[in-house]
Structure formats: C-alpha cells, structure tokens
Structure 1
Amino acid sequence: MRLHRNLVFAVIDTLKAVFNENKYADKEIAKALKRDKRWGSRDRSFIAETTYDIVRWKRLYAEIAEVKEPFSRPNLFRLFAVWATLRGIELPDWKQLEDTPTRRIKGRFDELSQTRKFRESIPDWLDELAVKELGEEKWTKEIAALNLQAPVVLRTNTLKNNKKELRDSLFKENIETHTIKGYKDALELNERANVFSTEIFKKGAFEVQDASSQLVADFLEVEPGMRVVDTCAGAGGKSLHLAALMENKGQIIALDIYENKLKELKRRARRAGAHNIDTRTIENTKVVKKLYDTADRVLIDAPCSGLGVLSRNPDAKWKLQPEFLEKIRKTQAEILDRYSKILKDDGKMVYATCSILPSENQKQVEAFLQREAGKDFRLLNQKIVLAHESGYDGFYMALLEKSK
C-alpha cells in the first residue's frame, strides 16, 4: 500500500480532535471525509478505518511509541507509524516519519501483547471492573470480540419489501449480502459499502441496524392495533422496527428528552412509510404522567455505558469514566420506576441496554422487582447477548409482565 500525504494528514487532524479535544470519532471522521470531493471510496475508507483503528488501539500504540496525552502532532505521527509498521506498510520518506524504529516496534508489540490491558487496549479501571462483573475468562473473550471491526447489518423494512426482494435490489446496485440464521429481517453485507447512497435506501427499503439490536422489538411481542410506548426512542431505530412489526396498525408513542433526535425519527419514519408513530418530547414530568396505565407494551431502551457496542464506537472506552457508570445505574433505576407506570395491567414491558455489565442489566431488573415500583411485575424472559458468542453487538433484554 502506498501512503498519500493528504489522506494521512486528514487522519492526523481527526485524531487530534478525538484525543486532545475529546470530540466524537464518528462525527470527526464524517467531517474529515468532506474535505476533498475528489476522494474516492478507497480514499474515504482509508481515512475512516485508519482513524478508527488508531482510536481503538490508542493505549497499546501509545505504549509502543512511548508518547503520552495530550498528543503533540509529532506524537500523533508516531502513533500512525506504529499502526503502519504493524500492518507491514512501508513508510514513505517524509520528515514526520523519520527514524521510525521498525524492529523495536514489533518487539514491543510482542512483549505488550502478553498483558490483556495492553493487548486489548483498555483502561485499568475498566479491565478490573469487567473482570469483577463477568469473570476473567468471559471478559478476555468478550473484549477481544469487541475490538473487531463491526459488520454492517441491514434490517429489511417489511412495510416496503421482504428480505428476498431487498437482497435482489441490493445485488442490482452491486452490493452483495447474506442472510443471518436466527435474525428474520437481517442481511449482512459481504463487503463494506456506502449503502446510504443507494436508491433503495432513499426509498426506505431498509435501515442499518446491528443484528443484536434487531432482537429487541421482536422481544416485546407486539401485535397490530396495540398502543406501544418507546420511552427512550432517540432517533427511532426500534420505533421504526416496531411500526413494521405492527404493520402500521395501532399507535407507537416515541418519547425522548432530546427534541432534535425525535425530529430525525420523524424524517426517518417518512422515508420508511411508518405512519403510526407519534413523537413527544419529555419537557416535564406531565408528559410521562399523562401516559400512566395506558400502554399495552412499553419499551425502555435505557441509556447505558454502551460497552456492548465498542466495536462500532471504540472511542467510548476512553470517554467512559467510573463516575459516569455510577450515575447511569441510578438513572436506569429511576427510569424503570417511572416509565413502568405507563404500562396497563396485563401489559408487557422490555428493559434493554447495549451493555454487557450485569450491574446495568439483570441486577437492575432484580433490584426493580424488589422495589415498590416493581411489586406487580414478574420476569417472563431475559436474553444476554455477548459479542464473542453472537458475532454482533453485546446486548441485554428482559421481558416483564404487569399483573393486576
């Protein structure tokens, strides 16, 4: 592979924003890709994947390069040199890459790879916490899986087409996919491609949604004609899936504290042809209280640490702090207590997170069932999805029923 100066400089600039200015990797990469309209798909892929790689392996590469944060520009080039050397890429004769100790880099890599926190590039506190919650063996396998590049998975929008029709349409646009056993509406791309530029995406034939995330709406056991409340809807990936499962019949009330996310949900719903979604911003407690005892189904896709989706958000492990985890667990408990009141008697509720930590998942549900707010509920089923077992995001979901 021949390295091009303008592409490498785009990577360095993006890393500076992510590491030193605490910006989000996905947003900074999107910004970087707009810098030069002449860049083709291969150029854009190089910038995105190289940036994500160096973000993912920051601790390991920094240890090998012997540099510390905040990274100066020469230090960022040293990180890049480590990345290139470990991939067997010949370094060009640029002054920024002079005197790269290639042999020493490989030796240090072999040495540091004996220790999990360096090999998997994770903060000490997170390594210790995950071992405590999951156990040594399970965590070792899980973090290795979460450091792999996430596959691109699509969810067929059954309001517009079926899985076979979608697969055929994508093939006509030179995008090959395969089905995934156990995921009824999912197609996985054989090779990464910009699916958002396809005509069928613009017509609403599919959404990009990880296979594990696609399990949640099904888990809620919705039926056409029901009243369903999606309490933490965000930009609406699961609301859209629920609309398709309900065949546009009945009502989905999508709640969120962020109005801009619900605006994005409205836009996506128009494209998907989902007509039964009513968005409501939670501006005060009255919005939620008005819904008490009215819903056949409630989905609580709770805010969480996001540790199950590190493969697609590798910068999260550097942004996450122990204090945030303590705070988010309290938030999860408050949300469960408050939003569970929306459910009618004999209704069903799903509590879900994209975390792999039992303290955010089954232990939250156990504690809820012991509290006053959960006294009328019983756990019907729960699903723990780990990345090293499924090949997709880490997820948790619990189905609860409210009795009279």
Structure 2
Amino acid sequence: MRDGGRISAAIEILGDLEVRRRPVQDALKDWGLTHRFAGSKDRNAIGGLVYDVLRRRASLAAIMGAETPRALVFAAYALMWRRGLEGLVAACDPEDRHAPKAPDADEAQRLSAGMIPEEAPDHVRADLPEWLMPSFRRVFGEGVVGEGQALASRAGVDLRVNTLKATREEVLGLLEGLGAAATPWSPIGLRIAAGEGDEKAPHVVSELAYKRGLYEIQDEGSQIASLIAAAGGAKTVVDLCAGGGGKSLALAAALGPAARIHAYDNDKRRFGDILDRVARAGADSIAIVEPGAGDPLARLDGTADLVIVDAPCTGTGTWRRRPDAKWRLAPGALDMRVRQQAEVLDRAARLVRPGGRICYVTCSLLPEENEDRIAAFVGGRQDFSVADASGIWKEATGTELPDGIAVKVGGGRALRLTPRRTDTDGFFIAVLHRRG
C-alpha cells in the first residue's frame, strides 16, 4: 500500500470507532481480517496513525477546527509524522484510487499554521478528558498541560531482565542490534526507544533471548514498583491481584528462591498465559492460587510478610500505550474502581502479619485512586502506618530520587511516577507497615 491508502484506512477505522465505541485493538484486527492484501508494514503504519490520533485527539481537532476522522488523520500525518502539507498532498495522489481527496483550502491553511488556537482551554492543550481536569489539576497544578502532553506521547518498549537467568549486561549484548539501552532508574531494565511516524517497533517476543526467559516486557515504572515492594526482603508473599503475573515474576527474581510467592486473582481469565511465563522464567517460587469456592487465601491470613496490591484502577497512567481508553473512560468506571480498591486493601490487611507490609500500586494518576485511598485506609485503622517510600527508592534502584515524585500522605510519603517526570508510565506506589 502507498501512504494514501494507509491514510484512508486510518480514517475508516476511526469512523468505525466513532460508531461502535469499542477497543481500538478490536477495530484494527477486524480491518486487517477484511483487508488481507495489507502487509505487516501497512498494518503497522495504519495502527500507528490511529493510535497517534487518539493520543492527541483534542489538540488535533482544535488545530483543524473539526473532529472528523479525516481532519484528525490529516493532522496526525502532516504534523505528528512531520510529513507537512506538501507530503500530505503528495500522499493524496488523485491517481491512487485508494487515497482520500487532497486537503481543501481551509484544511491546507490550518495544516500550514499547525497551531492550537490561543483561546483553547487547558484540557485541549493537555489532550485530557475535560471531566477529569479537576483531578489532574489537583495533582499537577500549573504543570497539568505539560504532564498531559507527556502522557500523549509515544512510549518505548521496556524490558525487565530476568536476573534468575541473566545479567543486564548479557541481555544488552544480545539485543544491541535492536537499539536496547539501560533504563535510567531500574537497575534491571532495558529500553528500546519509541520510533517516529511509521517506524515499526521491534518484535521482541520473537527473539531467542525472550523464548529462553532472559527478559519480560514490563514498563520501567512497574519494575520500580516491584523493586520497592521487595526492598527489605520477604519469605511469604501474596500477589493479591496477580493478573498475568508480571509483578510476581519480578518479585521471584528480586527475592530469590527462598521466598514463596502466592499469585492470586479473583478472575482466573486474567491469568492469561501466566503458567507459560512462570515456566519460561524458571520462577519456581511462584504458586498459582486459583479462585474458587470459599476463600482460597484464608489459610494465609495473618502470615504474609508482604502483600502486593496491584489494584484495579482506571489505568490513566498507561494512556501512552492505550490512548483509546482515555476517551472511553466514564465517571461510573472511576466510582467502581474506588470501591474495588477499598475492598482489596481490606483483604490485604487480613493477609499481612504484624510487622509485615502492604505495597499498594496503581497505574493511575488520579488522586481518588491513590492518596485518597491510602488516607482513607490508614485513617480508619490504628494498626497501619504509611512508610516513607521515597527513602526506599535508593535502596531499590541505586539512584537518587527524582524531583517532584514524592507524595505526602497519612504521615508518610508515597511515590507518583509520570511520563514527564520519570519517563515511565504513570504509577502510584505506597508502602504500608502493619504494626507488630
């Protein structure tokens, strides 16, 4: 396919999303199944255009004075992909029957200017849903636009070296040809930088090093959360919302074979391919606890040195990778997540022994899901206190604490990682000690 056909395909897929309001991955998959002539490079380019539009939908619409799929894709191709008006006009070649019509006079003028109108409100400049601006402004204040813009950028591919099988230096050598580099904060992380335009990210799961279990795909922020949870050691661990097992695998490597990690999730469908991942990693210390009749974790009540709560949340911190979720999130979903977070914290409290700890983690930037939940939890209990997670940072990472990520809550300090401040996904990390 030529670029004109790719542009038309992106316009078609975004139109489908408007009508059917479904996850973008489903729309892209269905388009590929009905257009089998499109090769992998074509599908990658089309998906890249669609995702970039969703990352910056509000600001692109302001530039174009329209929110139609055509206007948004034109703006993404000309401005985000740096093809310019001239490149867009060339792509809209009238001799290419798959290409859209060339930009009209108004579209051409707007693309040439390429400017967000001065009167555009902050939620447009930040590419954030308007209804969430009070929450984001409460966290970031005058820096909200910059934080939103960073959250609307592309993310690289982050890998966690499996130290049960290899060192970072060994895996760096194996992936040198892919452009892998050491992550700035995690001592066990690698990053392959995000490409521009239609540049394709390397297929890291096809590498023999991956098949041998030498690394896992895991955002650096998630790696840091696992390292902070593991700091201080633990023998009995419960991963209460294990899902696919990313943090269980990281904890198995960080804590070593002497620890026993009980990976549980109340919906077994979320386990996905966890058994294959555990086997590939050689993480023999992980035991999968399936949901079932009664309470499968009851036998562990009051025994855990560490309970990690990767709490269900809105996922606002992952919008670089899942930009369609940004525009589909509704207030009711936030309310539901807040209730679930309170419930899972209460369950964690019954599991942890006196003198043990809970590590509460979300991939959210919203205070309602983070410091509000921690403040409410410790406010209602005299047996838990908030540790100074910022003091654990250096022990866990070997680096100095970045500016602006410490969050005062409940007499202690939690951490908030963001794309702008740490170049990671958005994460909130709080460590709660149960008094002995």
* TM band (smaller chain): 0.7 to 0.9
Supply the AA of the counterpart residue of 1:376. D
Q: Distance in 1 between matches of 2:165 and 2:175?
A: 14
**Given the alignment, which residue of 146, 158, 169 partners 2:151?**
146
Deviations 1:176-212 (A, max 9, x none): 2211233110111146322122111111111111111
Note if 1:124 corresponds to 2:122: no
- Whether contact under 8 Å (1:306, 1:355) holds in the other structure is yes
Which residue does the alignment assign to 2:236?
A: 227
3-state DSSP class of the match of 2:175? Answer: helix
- Whether contact under 8 Å (1:299, 1:350) holds in the other structure is yes
Note if 1:361 corresponds to 2:359: no
Percent identity between matched residues is: 29
Which residue does the alignment assign to 1:90?
A: 88
Q: Distance in 2 between matches of 1:338 and 1:272?
A: 29
Which residue does the alignment assign to 1:104?
A: 110
Shift of 1:82: 3.0
- Whether contact under 8 Å (1:227, 1:297) holds in the other structure is yes
Shift of 1:53: 0.6
Query: Mean alpha-carbon deviation: is it higher for 75-84 or for 319-328?
Result: 75-84
- Whether contact under 8 Å (2:304, 2:351) holds in the other structure is yes
- Whether contact under 8 Å (1:112, 1:119) holds in the other structure is no
Which residue does the alignment assign to 1:396?
A: 428
Q: For residues 26 and 160 of structure 1, do their structure 2 counterparts lie closer, same or farther at Cα, with a shift above 3 Å needed?
A: farther
Note if 1:177 corresponds to 2:180: yes
Q: For residues 51 and 238 of structure 1, do their structure 2 counterparts lie closer, same or farther at Cα, with a shift above 3 Å needed?
A: same
Note if 1:158 corresponds to 2:163: yes
Q: Distance in 1 between matches of 2:77 and 2:272?
A: 41
3-state DSSP class of the match of 1:90? Answer: helix
Q: Distance in 1 between matches of 2:155 and 2:294?
A: 38
Shift of 1:98: 4.3
Q: Distance in 2 between matches of 1:198 and 1:32?
A: 28
Q: How does 1:215-364 map to 2 (within 5 A)?
A: 215-221=224-230, 226-283=235-292, 286-364=295-373
Q: Distance in 2 between matches of 1:79 and 1:260?
A: 36
Q: Distance in 2 between matches of 1:186 and 1:113?
A: 42
3-state DSSP class of the match of 1:290? Answer: helix
Query: Mean alpha-carbon deviation: is it higher for 95-104 or for 244-253?
Result: 95-104
Query: Mean alpha-carbon deviation: is it higher for 338-347 or for 228-237?
Result: 338-347
Supply the AA of the counterpart residue of 1:363. D
Q: Distance in 1 between matches of 2:184 and 2:141?
A: 29
Q: TM-score, normalised by structure 2?
A: 0.82
Q: Distance in 2 between matches of 1:33 and 1:203?
A: 31
Supply the AA of the counterpart residue of 1:177. A
3-state DSSP class of the match of 1:97? Answer: coil
Q: For residues 398 and 178 of structure 1, do their structure 2 counterparts lie closer, same or farther at Cα, with a shift above 3 Å needed?
A: same
3-state DSSP class of the match of 1:96? Answer: coil
Shift of 1:302: 0.5
Note if 1:52 corresponds to 2:51: yes
RMSD: 2.6
Deviations 1:155-194 (A, max 9, x none): 10111111000011112xx212211233110111146322
- Whether contact under 8 Å (2:242, 2:264) holds in the other structure is yes
3-state DSSP class of the match of 2:300? Answer: coil
Q: For residues 249 and 8 of structure 1, do their structure 2 counterparts lie closer, same or farther at Cα, with a shift above 3 Å needed?
A: farther
Q: For residues 261 and 330 of structure 1, do their structure 2 counterparts lie closer, same or farther at Cα, with a shift above 3 Å needed?
A: closer
Q: Distance in 1 between matches of 2:248 and 2:27?
A: 27
Shift of 1:278: 1.6
Note if 1:378 corresponds to 2:385: yes
Q: Distance in 2 between matches of 1:28 and 1:291?
A: 43
Q: May I ask how many residue pairs the two structures share in their alignment?
A: 391
Shift of 1:36: 4.0
Q: Distance in 2 between matches of 1:272 and 1:29?
A: 31
Shift of 1:66: 5.3
Q: For residues 11 and 338 of structure 1, do their structure 2 counterparts lie closer, same or farther at Cα, with a shift above 3 Å needed?
A: same
Supply the AA of the counterpart residue of 2:428. Y
- Whether contact under 8 Å (2:62, 2:120) holds in the other structure is no
- Whether contact under 8 Å (1:212, 1:385) holds in the other structure is yes
Q: For residues 39 and 335 of structure 1, do their structure 2 counterparts lie closer, same or farther at Cα, with a shift above 3 Å needed?
A: same
Shift of 1:52: 0.5
Which residue does the alignment assign to 1:71?
A: none
3-state DSSP class of the match of 1:287? Answer: coil
Shift of 1:297: 0.9
Q: Distance in 1 between matches of 2:32 and 2:249?
A: 28
- Whether contact under 8 Å (1:222, 1:297) holds in the other structure is no
Q: Distance in 1 between matches of 2:154 and 2:290?
A: 34
Q: For residues 271 and 33 of structure 1, do their structure 2 counterparts lie closer, same or farther at Cα, with a shift above 3 Å needed?
A: farther
Stretches of structure 1 that go unaligned for 5 or more consecutive residues are: 69-74
Q: For residues 222 and 108 of structure 1, do their structure 2 counterparts lie closer, same or farther at Cα, with a shift above 3 Å needed?
A: closer
Which residue does the alignment assign to 2:21?
A: 22
Q: Distance in 2 between matches of 1:290 and 1:280?
A: 12
